[in-house]
Amino acid sequence: MRPLTPGFKWDPKTKVASFVRYVPGGCGKTRRKRTVSAATRAKALELWAAFDRELRGETVVPPPPPVPPPPPPLTLATFLAAEWDAIQRRLAPSTRQSYRSLLDRHILPVLGALPLSEITAVRVEDLIATLQDPTRSSARKRPLSPATVNAAARVVNAMLRQAVERGALPTDPVQRQVAMAHVPALALELSDAEYRRFFAAFDDRAGFRRLLDAKRRPSRVTTSAAFRVARRFGGRVLPDSAAADVLFARFRGLRPLFLLAVETGLRQADLLDLRWVQVDRVGRWIRIEAMRKTKREVLVPLTEVALQALAAFTPTGDLPEFVFTDADGKRIGLARVLAAFKTAKQLAGLTRRFRFHDLRHSCACRLVAANVNLPQIASWLGHTSTRVTERYARPSTAAMVAARDALDRRAVETTEHGNAPGDPPAR
């Protein structure tokens, strides 16, 4: 049996407890009552004891509130899980895809569990060293390029800036410049000899036929009740057929497009999206209000070669919307342009790395060789700063030869005046 507690009553059905106590010192005449809710008898007894202490004048110290556990630290992975949808809406589709790939494949496996406040410059440099580790790259069959490693580091910095802007961090923990991986300078522009070979390929009908012949495969003989005789399928176009002449004409017709790419330096997307309303053939300008990549306005001068290239696409009747259209007025697609670019490379014997974008590099290097200053080149190409343009500021072979000849002339002149090279000139 439970021990009796005078003045205490608890109803398990209604979960209600009632307390009755005579006040100490009241000579049994003064009493107090209280009715409270209590889910259990034990809870009711706790309340009864507190009621009794209150009547006795004892100070009731409430228990301290429970201290909530500290929230888990905000890691890079949890931050991206909460904010990526908002971040990616501010990015271009290609940038969004690149960021997500670098995050999932290279960044989060290394830094994902690290609190945001601990991702300092040292941690970013550790990431760079990890991605360049040869033992790690062997599992992927090839190492990451320095450009990819640096791109991953820049994505980390971009995510930390987003964390600061969105209130997840008070300040950016990367307080100094990160030592990036060394990217070797690549000379991807066309040399003068490669330039001549590349554009001569569009007139090489014999080479085009040899290329078609090299691509041929044995045809497939098929018999069927629907055929009167066995028929051949596959094998591609015969090099000496009328169809081969049509293909060569289509290929040769794109030569002005590649000429315009070298002369203007426009990016692939801006070039193929070029409209006649953006071209001023009288003033010899191309005005693009917002470039696809940088959203900057650019004003590109038209050289004489560029004007001739545009004339090849100028129709005799009404101008269509786009500059680069076929005989039917349809816009020329990217697949056809890239196929022609690949064919021209093969006919020109360009086996090294050379992309369509390197036509833009070739334009920049030709401007540098023509002694155009960097701010003008940056404005021509639509660069956001001259730091981007500086990568093209390499002296050409002709400029180096001119510098060598100048030194040779100075040495001859000094010797004729009776001074040895290196001595001060005679007075």
pLDDT tens string 158-196 = 999 999 999 999 999 998 899 988 877 767 889 889 999
Instruction: Report pLDDT for 215.
Output: 82
Number of domains in the chain: 4
278 and 381 together in one domain:
yes
Q: Is residue 274 a part of any domain in this protein?
A: yes
The CA distance from 105 to 136, in Å, is 13
What single DSSP character describes residue 115? B
Q: Is residue 64 a part of any domain in this protein?
A: no
Instruction: Report pLDDT for 141.
Output: 56
- 320: CATH: 1.10.443.10
373 and 411 together in one domain:
no
The CA distance from 174 to 160, in Å, is 8
82 and 93 together in one domain:
yes
Backbone region of residue 411 per phi and psi (left: phi > 0; alpha: psi in -120 to 50; beta: other values): alpha
Name the pTM for this structure: 0.65
Sign of dihedral through CA atoms 103, 104, 105, 111? positive
Instruction: Report pLDDT for 89.
Output: 92
315 and 375 together in one domain:
yes
284-336 tens-digit pLDDT:
999 999 888 888 889 999 999 999 999 998 887 788 899 999 888 889 999 99
369-397 tens-digit pLDDT:
888 888 888 888 888 888 777 777 666 66
**Domain limits for position 103:** 76-165
334 against 218, higher pLDDT: 334
288 and 384 together in one domain:
yes
Torsion of CA 98, 102, 108, 110, to 10 degrees: -160
112 and 158 together in one domain:
yes
241 against 102, higher pLDDT: 102
Residue 342 phi/psi, 5-degree rounding, is -65, -40
The whole-angstrom distance between residue 23's C-alpha and the CA centroid of its chain comes to: 80
Q: Is residue 358 a part of any domain in this protein?
A: yes
The whole-angstrom distance between residue 348's C-alpha and the CA centroid of its chain comes to: 32
Q: Is residue 329 a part of any domain in this protein?
A: yes
Where residue 140 falls among pLDDT bands split at 50, 70, 90?
low
